A and B are shown apart, each in its own frame.
Chain A
Amino acid sequence: MNPAVINLGYLGASALFVVGLKGLAHPRTAPRGNLLASLGMLLAVALTLLDRHILGFQTIVAGMTIGAVLGAVLALKINMTAMPQMVALLNGFGGGASVLVAGAGLLERQNAVIPALSHFTVAAVASGVIGAMTFSGSLVAFAKLQELVTDSSVRFPGQRALTAGLAVVATGLGLWLVLTPGPHAAYWLIVAVSSFLGLLLVLPVGGADMPVVVALLNSWSGLAAATTGFVLDNNILIIAGSLVGASGFILTEMMCRAMNRSLVDVMTGIVPLGSTGRGDEDLYAGRVNAGSPEEVALLFDAARRVMIVPGYGMAVSQAQHSVAHLAELLRSRDIEVEFAIHPVAGRMPGHMNVLLAEANIPYELLKDLDDSNPTFEQTDVTLVIGANDVVNPLARTDRTCPIAGMPILDVDKSRTVVVIKRSLSPGFAGIPNPLFADDKTIMLFGDGREMVQALLKALKEGP
């Protein structure tokens, strides 16, 4: 088929991608957006198969069948709590595919004369570096999220020097390939070095910082596709890749802002250390008010407005369905119920919203940080489940604490706070939480799901 026709088709596919992403602006239009984007992909693939450079279809059919089966099984079987792992894995595959395609592109031009400093080799180097780092980094992120390896920050002496050294080696190899293009192994050496680099970059990142890394790798997988587009002189790869790159970049930014941490701090695993002023003992001694589900049920009965603040601990104890029942019961008694969701409440951007949506909680009730904070003052009872650092008032008051300046949910402004938590142990930031010792706070010590179920029982039985 005429290349111009194929390129026109690619233009149509690109437009479908943009319109599809635009549909994600609202839950109502989002399913159609996703459908339009997938039609764009179908169009792009169908047109490519008509390209006259494709001489045989055996390899293609085998590869697509295997990929489609694996992808479909993964998509249909995956548990919603495991979405971060799945996205991490797909980020990695995207990076890996870009590395291989750019490598094949180099191979194809092996016998052609490539001038020194051409955009073609520069793009190949970029694909090799970004793609390989995305691939290995994503596999580490996957292993951490799946808890195949420790999810805490892994650091060892000389790590920074090693990372810097590898970066220098990768740059050197890149210059070699760009300045003296020709059939040599530099590209695959770059891939090997960058793979190791990706490993070293993600290892130091701790569990609570995972949302940032998953978003960053998402961005890189798009950029790798875009640079591969430069290698192949293929516009649709450039367009689709940069759309994904922009999306991941925005999310990375948002996650960093939600934790008041710089990207550099996250990637180096630096947890800001500061004095907490007082020790846990001092803060909590004799001031923690432990309550019972029955007591809390009475509070709910008298409330007109309840806010629920879920944290990752809620997902860990699989309490979301019980929480949904609780919300439903309260709403049936004409109590206004809303959910306040911190941007880093889950293990990836928007993760908590998906978990609550899966439990059939209407999305209209899910409020983000900016929308929920002004409403706490009018809230009678705020129920905090499995969240800690994101509701710690020290972030507002103590300038020396590790989470100083981090935007938090101002739950302490509501009339009563109920906290369901296993113990008084600190969150990821490792600092005590004065909220737990506040006069208006009642602690329900126990497993998230069991406690919510006990609450439900107490509410149904009534006083």
Chain B
Amino acid sequence: METAVLGLTIFVLALFTGFEVITKVPPTLHTPLMSGANAISGITLVGALLAAGSERDWLMSTLGFVAVVFATINVVGGFLVTHRMLAMFRQRQKTEP
């Protein structure tokens, strides 16, 4: 019960932090924000790694393996594509006199 309340506390405070931070993102960057959010939600990778490396039984390993693949696609794909997009927003400043 105690861990649940602690978790809930963290959850609610993080939600508030998220609202505060995200409302300051301008509409121009909403697409990179979403792909960046994709990458951050790939944090499930942490849980997936624990399952994949537990060496308990084949079922656990299979679940872990597929989850690691999914989450890694999110992390790598999300951060890279965000980087690619943000570079487009930056490049033009150099061409501007």
Contact = CB atoms under 8 A, between A and B. Distances in A.
Interface of A: 14, 17-18, 20-22, 24-28, 30-31, 33-35, 37-38, 41, 44-45, 48-49, 51, 53-57, 59-60, 62-64, 66-68, 70-72, 74-76, 78, 80, 83, 86-87, 90-91, 93-94, 96-98, 100-101, 103-105, 107-108, 118-119, 214-215, 218, 221-222, 224-226, 228-230, 232-248, 250-251, 254, 341, 343, 346, 348-351, 353-354, 357-358, 360-363, 366, 368
Given A94-B74, A107-B63, A238-B7, A71 B80 contact: yes
A357 B89 contact: yes
B54 A366 contact: no
Contacts of B92: 357, 360-363
Contacts, number: 367
Contacts of A67: 68-73, 75-76
B47 A27 contact: no
Which of the listed residues B1, B4, B11 has the most CB atoms from chain A within 10 Å of its own CB? Answer: B11
5 contacts: A21-B21, A64-B68, A97-B74, A221-B41, A228-B44
Given A239-B14, A360-B95, A250 B51 contact: no
A86 B77 contact: yes
Nearest to B92: A362
Contact of A237 (B43, B64, B93): B43
A24 B32 contact: yes
A320 to B, nearest CB: 12
Contacts of A363: 28, 89, 92
B46 A44 contact: yes
Given A48-B49, A74-B73, A225 B43 contact: yes
Contacts of B87: 31
Interface residues of B, number: 83
Nearest to A35: B83
A90 B65 contact: no
Query: Do most interface residues of chain B lie in helix, strand or loop, or is the interface mixed?
Result: helix
B29 A350 contact: yes
Given A30-B86, A31-B86, A243 B44 contact: no
Contact of A22 (B21, B34, B75, B82): B21
Given A94-B38, A215-B34, A28 B53 contact: no
Contacts of B70: 67, 93-94, 96-97, 100
A91 B38 contact: yes
B69 A70 contact: yes
Interface in B1-40: 1, 3-4, 7, 10-11, 14-15, 17-19, 21-40
B24 A41 contact: no
Nearest to B77: A71
A17 B42 CA distance: 12
A71 B78 CA distance: 8
Contact of A55 (B18, B53, B83, B84): B53
Contact of A59 (B29, B61, B81, B86): B61
B46 A236 contact: yes
Contacts of A361: 92
A255 B59 CA distance: 41
B47 A237 contact: yes
B83 A90 contact: no
B50 A51 contact: yes
B57 to A, nearest CB: 8
